Every structure is written in structure tokens, then in C-alpha cells.
Chains A and B, each alone.
Chain A
Amino acid sequence: MSVIDRTCDTITEPIYSNEYTTAAADQGLASCLLKTDTQNQWDAVIDTLLDWLKHPDELDYEEIIPPSRTIIGRACDIASWLRSRGSTPPLRVVPDGEGGISFEVRRKNSFQSLNLLKDSSVEQLLFRDHELIHRDSMELFDSV
């Protein structure tokens, strides 16, 4: 198992323990449709990241330090890996404003943020009813 696999397993325990696809796996055609939809949503996330590479001016705001090409590439790696697992796609992917990238996942009353920071470390935050109930961080890649 690669470092990414091991770390993503850890990272995704609360965020990407995907009850939707697990439940759907037993539902024949419905699960196929759902999985396709999941893949499409991940594709849209990766497209957004690639768009930032092609059009860096989109993030050219005084409030935002844009992510480097290396960080965008690593975010694509994470997204591709999670897509291959059929994990729940994020609601959106956004620059964190400090040179990193955040994947935001929402479910009912919970909100989760997987943050790839500027130095390539990864942080996960889990909020429930707006309370921060879980937080951890780890090294996923070599530092940049």
C-alpha cells in the first residue's frame, strides 16, 4: 500500500466513509447510475483544479495567495485517488487563501474540510452543528 493509500485511508475515515456508495452497491442499476454521477462530480473537481493551472488569473485576488502548480498537482493526485475509491465527492474545491487547497464535503448537519496546505501537509476538520468536533493533520507528501 502506498503512502497516499495509507494516509488517505486515515484521512478519509470520517469524511469519505461513503455510506451512499456502500448502500448503493447492492442496488443494481441504481448503484451504477449513482457511481457514474459520483465519477462525474469528481471529474468536475479535477477540471476545476486543471482550470486553475490553465488560468491562474482566476485566483488573482489580493485576499488569495494562489496555490503553486505543485500543490495543484498534488490536489489532483488526492482527487484522482478518492475518485478511484468511489468516495463521496466534495461539494466544492477552493483555494485556502494561503497557497493551499481545500476540499469541502457537506452532509446533513456536518461539514468537513480536507485541507492540503501550502507546505503539502494535510489537515482535516470536521464540524457538526457548527462545532469543531474533530481535527487532525498528517504528512502526505514531501514538504515543498
Chain B
Amino acid sequence: MGDGTECIEDAEFLYRRIPKPWFNPSISPYPAFQAFRPNEKDTSGLSLTRAKYISPEKFAKGGRGKQYYIAILCAGDLRLRGIEVEPKPIPGECGHAELPGLTWENRRGDEQRRWQNLMAEKLCLEIKGPYPENL
């Protein structure tokens, strides 16, 4: 395993953490597209993490005791749709990655809205969780 700076292969899986209010499998198999909207911290790109560096259970634990789901996406699927994904390791999370075309600043652009909808409704391969299972 690398140090997180190596290129993300097309076959690699990526995780996106989804707060429980944005996904209810009893209502819809898809999360709300807001789950893929950048927040104020995503100034250089929407944050994801590389599956090869962490388990979904551990990744979900970053959330202060709240329940999260983990959406799984494939890097190649994103690129096929024109959504670039780059490694961006940060202290304590060498698997951190970003979508540089989707930032806090441009989150309301037409193309960026389309990407958010695509990721929520088409590109999520699976959604695991919630984690922790019992609160």
C-alpha cells in the first residue's frame, strides 16, 4: 500500500460518508443529492476516501457518535462521466481524495448539480451501514 500520493486507479473504490438524514433505505434506494454537495471545508474539492486504506466501519466513526452510511463509488465510473478524482492525503487520513471539479464555490453550478445528482442516483454502487449499527 502506498502513502496516499499514488494515482487513483480506475478500478479503485471510494467512500463518501453520508449522514443519516440524507439516506433512508425504506423511502428510497438512493441518497439525497445533498450527500454529494460540498460543504464549506471543501474549498479544493469534494472529499472522499480511498477504500483500500480504511474499512467503511472505521471511516464512518469520524462522526462524533452519530450514525452514518457509507456510499461506495468507483473512480473509473466518475471519470467516464467527466468527474476527475485526485489523491489528496491529509494528516491522519492518507486515503483522502478529492473531486477538484466540485467545490464549495461552484457547488450550485449546473454541471456541478448534475454531478451531485449522478453520484446520488447512478454512480453509488452500494451503500453500507448505518454505522455504528446501534446507538
Contact = CB atoms under 8 A, between A and B. Distances in A.
Interface of A: 58-64, 91-92, 94-98, 102, 104, 106, 111, 113, 125, 127, 130-132, 135
A110 B69 CA distance: 25
A94 B121 CA distance: 16
B63 A62 contact: yes
Contacts, number: 55
A44 to B, nearest CB: 10
A-B complex: 6 closest residue pairs judged by Cβ atoms: A61-B19, A94-B32, A97-B34, A132-B114, A130-B118, A92-B27
What class of interface size applies to chain B in its complex with A? 20 to 34
A132 B114 CA distance: 6
Nearest to B118: A130
A132 B34 contact: no
B88 to A, nearest CB: 18
A83 B101 CA distance: 39
B84 to A, nearest CB: 18
B63 A61 contact: yes
